[in-house]
Structure 1
Amino acid sequence: MNEYSLHDIQDFLKIFYFDSPSLLVTPIPQGEENQNYKIEVDDKFYVLRVYSQAHSTTGVRNEKEIEFELDFMDHVRQKGVPTAIPIKNHFGRQVSEILLNGLPHFAVLMNYINGKEALAYSSENARLMAIQLVNMHKASLTYGYSAVRPWPGDIVRSGLTFYKENREHIGLHRNELDALYNQVAEGYKVIQSLKLPVGIVHGDIKLENVLFEKNEISGVLDFDDYRESFLLEELTRTLMHDLDSVDRNVIRSGQLGVFYEVFRMDNNISHIQLRQMDTFLKARFLYDMAAYSKNGLTWLIEDIFTDLYIKKILLS
């Protein structure tokens, strides 16, 4: 963050009556799309979230979408999911506008949540994350909404489409992946016939977006990828978020069973729904393999195909 940006932020914070000589602004490096800053004023801490001008997937960014995001955060917080609480500016609004380096952005000031990001999955933090996913699923089913941002398809349809469009790039293991494609296509027919539950999903649950403190989850962060989808998509993205990493991926770290155990124990997640998990996982795998092939990462594909957990769960 350069001095010009720092001056912009300090000037912007006056709409929250933050005009103290003790005001400190520190960039938080975490986050690939939006910018986050830790704000310290008079021994109190906050986080300023500055949104990118356009969402990386939808290409759209507007105040209504952010207000929807904050409203959903409030809803799940009331159901037991720890989320940040927005601070209203002196106009009584949660979403503000800020100029950074001369460019307009939307911004939200929130309370600071104490906690640290886990460096790798363990049985305990996998269990805690699974419980929060169940809580979010329950909350989504009781959340009343009339419209939500458009999104380019659920993960199964996206996986099938992307694989078909990029099959020409695939050299390694094409026969196995073609067979997997056929399995996913058949599984998608079953999913459509079952009419699995849909709702608002977080869309980006991973270790970087969860804070832990005293062996508990203290905060779930970054709801910017919220959308309406199958509730099982949330679980799928969590299980396979970093397929190229052993430590930061649930499946490759061997913690998949922990998630299944938690979901089986919850009465709102039916056995029929869980049985379709296989199709969701394989669709995500197809998408990733096509993406890696398209980008020439053949060494990564070979590494993943030799992984024992991948073989057992996705390639059996």
Structure 2
Amino acid sequence: MSIATSGLHHVTAIAGDPQRNADFYLRTLGLRLVKTTVNFDDPGTYHLYYGDEAGRPGSLMTFFPWKGAPSGRHGTGQATTTALSVPEASIGWWKQHLAAQGVEVGQVHNRDGEDALTFQDPDGLGLALVAHPQGDPRAPWDDGIVPAEHGIRGLHSVTLSVTDETATAAMFDGLGLSFAAQDGNRFRFTAGEGGPGAFVDVLVTPDVPQGLVAAGAVHHVAWRAPDEATQATWREELLGSGVDVTSILDRQYFRSIYFREPGGTLLEIATDEPGFTADEPLLELGRALKLPPWLEPKRDEIDRMLPKLNLPAENNPGATA
């Protein structure tokens, strides 16, 4: 194909209780809630977006939180670990910080020169904090609860679990991802110039059962497209190669197409624009419930269905009450 992604756009997962989810990602991990909206296909539940100050592509983790949702199962056919990028000197700080917050953490391990710390969020979602030896030039959310010098810089990588890597690797080639390294049954691919935010690892686990997407599991992984024209061309190329792709969908803050890679993981290509300041000022991001125009007539009904969220003051610096 003629088009190549520059890296990850976001990762979307399923969660349980929305307040517990917000407390963990805002207060424990120190991210910013950059958009409070709803699942456009099921407006009775939130769609919460966490990221850096402006919710830039590559910094985003998003969640559909259903209180009381059954637990998922990690396995093949899904993304099983989402890794976030932190400074190399901060891994020790994070190990102590997470332990102090009651989070069970593993030992720091090193793979291909990168130190990594693995743990789970309150719903069991597999997470890792990874320090790239060449650093990460992206700026953290510097008004958050976590000190900026230790702050998360954005997504580092995702790990997809598959029974066989061959067909998945072939599709990645069509997305502009390049094979970078192999470590046993783990294959690393990179987008663009590589580095944090541009990695995907494919873990071959033929004896592991199929995963189940529910609370604590990734719903889909999104890759970046710079604009709608590029996305439309990419869609036509995917269709031409026999991939079953959705129509282009309006997600208000980006446009999306969805398809599955051969191993089973749902993938998305999302545009960089228009971004999260399209409908509220930078300092007030995430503060108010935002709905697309077609759901505005049902605002009162939707608002009654959604539980209220308590956000830390740091989420909206300078915003008046």
TM-score (norm 2): 0.26
Larger RCO, structures 1/2 (Cα 8 Å, 6+ apart): 2
Structure ID, larger Rg: 1
Higher helix share: 1
Counting strand residues as a fraction of each chain, which structure ranks higher?
A: 2
